[in-house]
Amino acid sequence: MLDKNEVKHIANLARIGITEKEMDKFSHDLSSILDWIAQLEEVDVTGVLPTAHITGMSNNSREDSVSDFAEKEKIVALFPESRNGYDKVKSVL
């Protein structure tokens, strides 16, 4: 079980202030977490591949290809102003 000095040191590292009552609670909570991690370290995981997710889904991607947009004129008509062949919009800051 973690003592009060270790809990106080961890609190200082995390830059949080804790009271004496909280120190007792955190001492118990942190000790139980460390005990649980110790149990996990006992599990034999040889031959188990690392898992990033459990769904089995894969990322399907497609090749990029250039194509003309059929309704370009309709979108260009929505611009408020056009100057020297460029479509002008309000500035965004």
Q: Is the model's pLDDT at 53 over the cut of 90?
A: no
**What are the tens digits of pLDDT across the range 8-51?**
999 999 999 999 899 989 999 999 999 999 999 999 999 988 88
> Side-chain half-sphere of 52: how many Cα atoms within 13 Å?
4
The pLDDT score that the predictor gives to residue 91 is 82
CA 21 to CA 24: how far, in whole Å?
5
Which domains occur in the chain, in start order?
4-41 (1.10.20.60)
Q: Residue 86 pairs with which residues in a beta bridge?
A: 83
Cα angle value 68/73/78 (rounded, 5°) = 125
Which helix (DSSP H) or strand (DSSP E) does residue 82 occupy?
Answer: strand 81-83
**What are the tens digits of pLDDT across the range 60-79?**
888 999 988 888 888 888 88
pTM: 0.49
